[in-house]
Structures are given as C-alpha cells and as structure tokens.
Amino acid sequence: MNALVRAAYPWVKTPIIVCAPMLRISLAPLAVAVSRAGGMGFLAGGFDQSDMEKNFRQARELIHQSSPPIPQKEGVLPVGIGFLNYGVKLEMALSVVKRYIPAAVWLYAPHKLSELETWAEQIRDVTDGKTKIWIQIGTAAEALEVARLCQPDMIVIQGSDSGGHGLKQSASVIVNIPEVGDSLAAAGFSHIPLIAAGGIAEGRGLAAALALGANGIVMGTRFLAAKEAQIAKGYQDDVLRAKDGGTSTARTETYDIVRGTTDWPPEYDARGIINATYFDDKRGMPIEENKKLYQEALKKGDEGWGPKGRITTYAGSAVGLVNEVLPAGEIVKKVAEDARKALERTSKVNFE
C-alpha cells in the first residue's frame, strides 16, 4: 500500500491524511496547504464549470509558487477534486479534469452507484489513468458494488459521525472499516486502500483508523478550523465553541430544507451543530416560517451563527475535539505526530 500511494502521490506522507472536499470551503489555499504538508488536499468541485476552473487555476499557481516545491508526478496536479455526482454533468467534469489532471477525483452521492462505472472509465480515459478514482461509500454493500463496477484506486468509508452530508443510516467507522475491509478481502479486493471518514479530528483517531485496517483518514471538521479554510468567522467560532458533538450536533434534513438544497438523493441527510433552526423545527414551527427566519439570519453576518443563531453550521460529532485555529499544514503534521505517539503507547500494551 505505501508503495502504491507513494508512486501515485509522491508528495504524500503515509499514512495519508486527507482534507475533505467541503463545498465552498475547500478552495485552493486549503487544498494546496494540505498537500504541501504531505497530506492530500481536495478542491470541492461544486456545480459550476467556471468556479472549478478558477479554483484549479489558483491551485496551480499556489503549487507553482510553493517553496520548497511540492514533489510532483510529471503532469499531475498534486491536489484532487471532489464531485457531488447527483448534481454534476459528466461532460463538464471531464472537460475540467482533462485540462488540469488532478491527482484524484473523489466521487460521491450519485443517484445510483451504477452511474459511477462510466465516470471512472471516462476519467481514466481522458487522463490516461493519471487521475486516480476515489469513491466514498457508507456501507459494506456499497463498497462491494463500487469495487466490482469501478475498481476504484481508493475507497473512502464514511461513518455516522461525519459532518455535512452522509447516509441517514450508517455505522461509525469503528464498525465500517473492519466490515468493509473483510467484505472486500473476501471478494478479492484487498488491494484497494481504505480511508476512514467521520469522527476523526486528531491523532488518536488516525491511530485508531490504522488499527481498524484503514490506510489513512479524511478530516473535514478539523479543517473548518484551519487558517486557510474559506469560512465565515461566525461559523468557525461556533465550531470552536461546540463540545460533545454527539448531543451538540444532529443528523437532520431540516438544514437542507431551510437552505433550499433539497436535490440530494433521498438516502442522505446532513449533520450540523444544533441551533435555533433545528430547535424551532423540533418544536413544530411551520417550515415556511423557519425558511423566512433563515433568510433573515443570513443578513446578520457572523451574528447569524451560534447556538441561538440560524445559519447552517455543518460539522461532525468530533467537533468537541477541535479547539483552536491552526494553519492546515500544522494540523496535518500534528495529527500525524500524535498518531505516532498513540501507536508508540499502544505498542507497549501488555497482552500477557
């Protein structure tokens, strides 16, 4: 695995630490900072070709300016791009991917998993296999299906603790990683590296993911408190404030409804920090009124966030482990170092 990852992504230090492609947040400065530190940065694709091109151009520029230079593979951009498949046209994605040759394309949330077969095939085709195919799934059944259809280069396993969108029903990574690993191995796919997503925000989580059989981790919520994240201060402050994410965040469809982002496939909802929008909905406020109040909150700027605010604050249940804003590169290095220490500690556990 290490050899495969090193060959495909020569700047990556293993175990691989990935910054999730968070819509409108994971732009070029964050993605490049993560890759520069030996992690794997992803641009959030979004739905608009001109935005994607702009983000890629900026990433290319930042990579070009990096000193020391980021170790690269000839003709491959050392960042990836994430697509929300339910909302992106293949032709548009292909035209952008062909032009910029990102190191990886991360596919997620198609209407049907079977759609991904064509995506994987054509992306490999237009990039001569230079762009690797990452697919994010949430169950062992989904993992098996995409392994058979697409032979992905990497499978990202999303657990129930993850922030933002995810399956309404899923286990956490403590279950999913071993079960997906066993299922794939039994079907002859043990060579596909696995990346754990959801609930991991620091080094002990990375160490645990490795013990479970993953080859690396994705973090989203942790990078919301990265200096380079494109994020409102009110949002970031609330991420730093929230503790005990099991109770201070919730999976719900309410945030999608008030925001009008209701085009996700029906098996998804999203986890966010609970706020007035959520409480009012639970108390029975008519959704039209909640929507109106949401629009009014948007005008308040940073004041619109917070436990009494209304603006959607997507975050995972690991939010309580995020306590300070740091440069993304320092986050990558600190998580790796803390994982190394955790594994040094566990290597001394006495099994008599």
How is 25-90 classified by DSSP, letter by letter?
TS-HHHHHHHHHTTSB-EEE--S-HHHHHHHHHHHHHHHHH-SSPPP--TT-EEEEEEEEGGG--H
Q: Give the residue carrying structure tokens 């990375």.
A: 206
User: Three-state SS string across 250-301, please?
Assistant: EEECHHHHHHCCCCCCCCEEEEEECCHHHHHHHCCCCHHHHHHHHHHHHCCH
Q: Does 200 bind a copy of itself (CB under 8 A)?
A: yes
Q: Give the residue carrying structure tokens 């085009």.
A: 263
> Strands (DSSP E) along 111-245, which ranges?
132-137, 154-158, 164-167, 194-197, 216-219
Which of 208, 219, 229, 239 is in the footprint of a copy of itself by CB under 8 A?
208
Q: Does 199 bind a copy of itself (CB under 8 A)?
A: yes
Binding segment for a copy of itself among 99-107, 170-178, 278-286, 303-311 (CB under 8 A)?
170-178
Which of 123, 317, 329, 332 is in the footprint of a copy of itself by CB under 8 A?
317
Q: Does 118 bind a copy of itself (CB under 8 A)?
A: no
Q: Does 138 bind a copy of itself (CB under 8 A)?
A: yes
Q: Does 125 bind a copy of itself (CB under 8 A)?
A: no
Q: Does 202 bind a copy of itself (CB under 8 A)?
A: yes
Contacting a copy of itself within 324-343 (CB under 8 A): 336-337, 339-340, 342-343
Which of 218, 239, 250, 276 is in the footprint of a copy of itself by CB under 8 A?
250
Q: Does 14 bind a copy of itself (CB under 8 A)?
A: yes
Binding segment for a copy of itself among 20-28, 47-55, 88-96, 172-180 (CB under 8 A)?
172-180
Q: Does 45 bind a copy of itself (CB under 8 A)?
A: no
